Chains A and B, each alone.
Chain A
């Protein structure tokens, strides 16, 4: 009787330990989304990137050990209109011929309490690298881990919109980036 109880308790502890060691590392490209909002003449314009790949590992029990990398196919941009999509591939904007991808590599993740975290890392666009930090929330949905966050990118830091486009009164310098990353849990570690 008491042995059964001890056995059950032990099992529960092991199970709890297992849950804590769940690591989310299977990037789900089809479920993840990368969107942004730019502003033209005070008008918010929704945009998105359709193609991006990445790798990550995140254990909610050990967030500081987490890491992430994102490779973004800039040609997959939808900047909100056909005109804009044709414009942004050119030299003043992304200069896709020379810089077809943007890359983000994390350097640190720190817990902010509850389901909130902060991601820091280096973002490289158009040959220019900048440090960015982005707060995000994490929650589980079935076997998936969901990361929702965002940050404000200053387009001129990456020389996005040179020349006539540099006027931030027409196209604002600040671009709100939002990410919704879905990753499946990998096999648990003991």
Chain B
């Protein structure tokens, strides 16, 4: 059985970690900006990056189907294994739900998403001001939930590395010499 993630899975993991962190910070920053050309640009960039994250998570899931992740350490208590699987499922769920909620919000607010300024994506909803404001709350709530789960995810990885001294973190590191 493979003990490390595939290079593709590792690359996608860290690429998305960077992208999602950036998207989260930009999202926080931009929402309170007064209207300016700069704000319009940042919103567009955020939406393009968000659609990219959505495509990447689909790619990641497709890759995962053909390349199952390595098993968790055999000595891990059953409840921890269940918690780890549950957390990973939630992370994937949110990585899909968050860009979708952003897309839905943009549609409801009457701002179509035009990927990289050239590819118009269909509006998922007709313009509806109240629904747009509700979806903004949903988008933001899902993001803070994801941020909380990412903190738990990082904490768990560090716990495995520092206290359990297993390979749960190292097998996802990009430049780690494999110890077969």
Is A84 close to B, CB under 8 A? Answer: yes
Which residues from 143 to 190 on chain A have a C-beta closer than 8 Å to any C-beta of chain B?
164-165, 167, 170-171
Q: Taking chain A's interface residues, is the majority helix, strand, or loop, or is none over half, making it mixed?
A: mixed
Q: Distance in Å from the Cβ of A85 to the closest Cβ of chain B?
A: 10
* A165 touching B37 in the complex, CB below 8 Å, given contacts A41-B44, A42-B117: yes
Which residues of chain A have C-beta atoms less than 8 A from B143's C-beta? none
Q: Tell me the complex Cα distance, A46–B109, Å.
A: 11
Q: Tell me the complex Cα distance, A73–B54, Å.
A: 43
Q: Distance in Å from the Cβ of B175 to the closest Cβ of chain A?
A: 37
A84 closest partner in B (C-beta): B35
Which residues of chain A have C-beta atoms less than 8 A from B110's C-beta? 45-46, 80-81
A80 closest partner in B (C-beta): B110
Which residues from 81 to 139 on chain B have a C-beta closer than 8 Å to any C-beta of chain A?
109-114, 117-118, 127
Q: Distance in Å from the Cβ of B171 to the closest Cβ of chain A?
A: 41
Is B76 close to A, CB under 8 A? Answer: no
Which residues of chain B have C-beta atoms less than 8 A from A76's C-beta? none
Q: Tell me the complex Cα distance, A80–B44, Å.
A: 16
Which residues from 59 to 98 on chain A have a C-beta closer than 8 Å to any C-beta of chain B?
80-81, 83-84, 86-87
Is B179 close to A, CB under 8 A? Answer: no
Is A40 close to B, CB under 8 A? Answer: yes
Is A43 close to B, CB under 8 A? Answer: yes
When the two chains form their complex, are residues B35 and A86 in contact, meaning their CB atoms are under 8 A apart?
Answer: yes
Which residues of chain A have C-beta atoms less than 8 A from B117's C-beta? 41-42
Which residues of chain B have C-beta atoms less than 8 A from A87's C-beta? 35
When the two chains form their complex, are residues B109 and A43 in contact, meaning their CB atoms are under 8 A apart?
Answer: no
Is A54 close to B, CB under 8 A? Answer: no
Is B180 close to A, CB under 8 A? Answer: no
Q: Tell me the complex Cα distance, A46–B44, Å.
A: 17
Interface residues in A, total, Cβ within 8 A: 18
A86 closest partner in B (C-beta): B35
Q: How many residue-residue contacts, CB under 8 A, span A and B?
A: 41
Q: Distance in Å from the Cβ of A87 to the closest Cβ of chain B?
A: 5
Is B41 close to A, CB under 8 A? Answer: yes
Is B40 close to A, CB under 8 A? Answer: yes
When the two chains form their complex, are residues A43 and B118 in contact, meaning their CB atoms are under 8 A apart?
Answer: no
Which residues of chain B have C-beta atoms less than 8 A from A41's C-beta? 40-41, 43-44, 114, 117
Is B36 close to A, CB under 8 A? Answer: yes
B109 closest partner in A (C-beta): A81
When the two chains form their complex, are residues A170 and B114 in contact, meaning their CB atoms are under 8 A apart?
Answer: no
Q: Tell me the complex Cα distance, A80–B43, Å.
A: 15
Q: Tell me the complex Cα distance, A84–B41, Å.
A: 14
When the two chains form their complex, are residues A171 and B37 in contact, meaning their CB atoms are under 8 A apart?
Answer: yes
Which residues of chain A have C-beta atoms less than 8 A from B40's C-beta? 40-41, 170-171
When the two chains form their complex, are residues B36 and A42 in contact, meaning their CB atoms are under 8 A apart?
Answer: no
When the two chains form their complex, are residues B111 and A81 in contact, meaning their CB atoms are under 8 A apart?
Answer: yes
A42 closest partner in B (C-beta): B117
Q: Tell me the complex Cα distance, A80–B129, Å.
A: 10
When the two chains form their complex, are residues B114 and A42 in contact, meaning their CB atoms are under 8 A apart?
Answer: yes
Which residues of chain A have C-beta atoms less than 8 A from B43's C-beta? 41
Partner of A170, one of B41, B109, B113, B118: B41
Is A44 close to B, CB under 8 A? Answer: yes
Q: Distance in Å from the Cβ of A113 to the closest Cβ of chain B?
A: 34
A39 closest partner in B (C-beta): B114
Name 5 extra pairs, CB < 8 A, besides A81-B111, A87-B35, A164-B37.
Answer: A40-B111, A41-B43, A41-B114, A42-B114, A44-B112
